[in-house]
A and B are shown apart, each in its own frame.
Chain A
Amino acid sequence: EVQLVESGGGLVQPGGSLRLSCAASGFTFSSYSMNWVRQAPGKGLEWVSSISSSSNYIYYADSVKGRFTISRDNAKNSLFLQMNSLRVEDTAVYYCARGPPNDFWGQGILVTVSS
């Protein structure tokens, strides 16, 4: 069974940092591209970042470019999102998802940026 489990969320002040993790199981992690997608409270889905299977290709939404860094550890079946210089508007549930197309999603982790 494919499972994606996010961790590392929480409350942080504007300008602060957080590192999200996504633990993958039930599939050959090293064979798939992975993504982070977020959803602000009461809003729609926003693609944040993608990383190819061997980390050769990395992409970011303009809204996070220069502040967020996606990475992966294929030996540990893990995906990461380092978030720096956080803003109030980064408040959202963050999902890790396999793909695209995003055929499996984690349950999501809430990141709240507030003073």
Chain B
Amino acid sequence: DIVLTQSPGTLSLSPGARATLSCRASQSVSSSYLAWYQQKPGQAPRLLIYGASSRATGIPDRFSGSGSGTDFSLTISRLEPEDFAVYYCQQYGGSPPFTFGQGTKLEIK
């Protein structure tokens, strides 16, 4: 099974700053089937990025995804107050399990 490791565990930044979140896979993720989700307290996760770099419907262009193989990243170019949340990566290539990373908490500095 593919294990996803996200880093850092917590990222403390100020509004307006640039955020870069990492997701590393224990083996290659087929066809870049890697997604990123945002979750706020008490809410269901929201899909941000799929296919490693495609933005989901309605997602602002300050969110971007990149990477392939085993190394992926999510970048938020200029943080807005509503961006402070927990972010998860998930691989969904090939056969399940469709594992999630353990999450990165983005908090206000």
- A side interface size, CB within 8 A: 21
Q: Is A112 an interface residue (CB 8 A)?
A: no
Interface SS of B by simple majority = loop
Asked if A59 meets B90 with Cβ closer than 8 Å, knowing A101-B47, A103-B56, the reply is no
- List of A residues within 8 angstroms of B39 by Cβ: 45
- B side interface size, CB within 8 A: 24
Chain A residue with minimal CB distance to B45?
Answer: A105
- Mark B residues whose CB is within 8 Å of A: 33, 35, 37, 39, 44-47, 50-51, 56-57, 88, 90, 92, 95-103
Q: List 14 A-B contacts (CB under 8 A).
A: A37-B45, A37-B100, A44-B100, A44-B103, A50-B96, A61-B97, A99-B47, A99-B92, A100-B90, A100-B92, A102-B35, A102-B90, A103-B47, A105-B46
